[in-house]
């Protein structure tokens, strides 16, 4: 079983992940170790920087009783010598039972899956997809709001290059929700995503304003590393800043989420606001990835 994209992910699979995450949550919170994946090896191949995804997958695997190998800097691997992705995957498959991979190129995870029979889990492929982030985001919404169906979700910030947005939009599209996309005109979400969501019966609106009373405001950083032109980045770098003043224009029950890292789009002064859930959201990465690993690698 590969976890490549949320685009064609079935609702039944998502609900299974959420249910299993619910069971893993108290285990993760107590930092107990299970033996579900004892004797199994996970390879983490990170061709791009990562803090939360890398560490939470490592923690999740160890809490399930497994072992982790891999690298978090391609310069320390044979990639620096010119080894192709296909060859790297062919080699690593003989060392591990599954591979978690982050790569700067869109489609890299799908390509890797063509060269191995062991599971590939996409930990981010360029500006395309980050499916396990979307699953932990859904769990955060379910845990904090007690439901997903019936909610209005505002996805804001860099909708063009933000892979977390793309994955979450498609995942939300499996539920009965309304989605508001808020971004500067230059960072609008791709039209085919809008069309896919509308075809699925999802209510979609677009705006350039993050003042909202939605049930959830999911804010993202502007993806500087994805811009082909630094001047274009600088034009939108501070498009949205959530601080004490702008927070007054957000609904009193609007949950604030962010996949992190943040740059300047959420100021530290609001971290203790009851609506701010991004650090809680980050913590749910462990039980969610425990659930995913147990499903992908379990007997």
**DSSP notation for 191-216:** HHHHHHHHHTT-EEEEES------SE
Single out the catalytic residue among 20, 103, 130, 277: 130
Question: Are 138 and 155 a contacting pair, CB within 8 Å?
Answer: no
Single out the catalytic residue among 8, 81, 272, 274: 81
Q: How many CB atoms within 10 Å of residue 160?
A: 20
Question: Are 181 and 159 a contacting pair, CB within 8 Å?
Answer: yes
Catalytic residue list contains 130: yes
Question: Are 156 and 182 a contacting pair, CB within 8 Å?
Answer: yes
In this structure, what are the phi and psi dihedrals at residue 155, rounded to the nearest 5 degrees? Answer: -105, 120
Catalytic residue list contains 84: no
Catalytic residue list contains 102: yes
Query: Comparing C-alpha atoms, which of 117, 33, 71, 53 is closest to residue 292?
Result: 53
Question: Are 209 and 182 a contacting pair, CB within 8 Å?
Answer: yes
Single out the catalytic residue among 7, 22, 52, 262: 52
Single out the catalytic residue among 21, 53, 140, 288: 53
**What is the rounded CA–CA span in Å between residue 106 and residue 128?**
5
**What is the rounded CA–CA span in Å between residue 146 and residue 45?**
35
Q: Is residue 197 left, alpha or beta, with left meaning phi > 0 and alpha meaning psi from -120 to 50?
A: alpha
Structure tokens at 238: 């501070």
Question: Are 181 and 155 a contacting pair, CB within 8 Å?
Answer: yes
Single out the catalytic residue among 21, 40, 44, 102: 102
In this structure, what are the phi and psi dihedrals at residue 46, rounded to the nearest 5 degrees? Answer: -110, 105
**What is the rounded CA–CA span in Å between residue 125 and residue 91?**
20
Catalytic residue list contains 52: yes
Catalytic residue positions, numbered: 52-53, 81, 102, 130
């Amino acid at each position: 079983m590969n976890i490549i994209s949320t685009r064609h992910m079935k609702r039944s699979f998502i609900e299974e992940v959420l249910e299993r995450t619910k069971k893993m949550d108290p285990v993760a919170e107590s930092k107990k170790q299970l033996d579900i994946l004892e004797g199994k090896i996970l390879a983490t191949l990170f061709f791009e920087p990562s803090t939360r995804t890398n560490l939470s997958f490592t923690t999740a695997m160890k809490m399930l009783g497994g072992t982790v190998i891999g690298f978090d800097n391609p310069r320390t691997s044979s990639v620096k010598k010119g080894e192709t992705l296909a060859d790297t995957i062919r080699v690593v498959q003989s060392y591990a039972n599954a591979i978690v991979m982050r790569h700067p190129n869109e489609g890299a995870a799908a390509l890797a899956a063509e060269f191995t029979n062991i599971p590939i889990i996409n930990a981010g492929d360029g500006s395309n997809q980050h499916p396990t982030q979307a699953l932990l985001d859904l769990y955060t919404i379910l845990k904090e709001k007690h439901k997903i169906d019936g909610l209005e979700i505002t996805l804001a910030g860099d909708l063009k290059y933000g892979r977390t947005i793309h994955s979450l939009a498609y995942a939300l599209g499996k539920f009965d929700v309304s989605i508001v996309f808020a971004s500067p005109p230059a960072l609008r979400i791709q039209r085919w995503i809008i069309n896919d969501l509308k075809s699925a019966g999802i209510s979609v609106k677009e705006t350039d304003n993050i003042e909202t009373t939605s049930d959830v405001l999911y804010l993202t950083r502007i993806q500087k590393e994805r811009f082909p032109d630094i001047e274009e980045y600088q034009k939108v770098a501070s498009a949205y800043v959530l601080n004490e003043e702008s927070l007054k224009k957000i609904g009193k029950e609007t949950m604030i989420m962010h996949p992190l890292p943040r740059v300047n789009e959420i100021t530290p002064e609001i971290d203790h606001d009851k609506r701010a859930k991004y650090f809680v959201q980050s913590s749910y990465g462990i039980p969610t990835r425990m659930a995913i690993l147990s499903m992908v690698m379990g007997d």
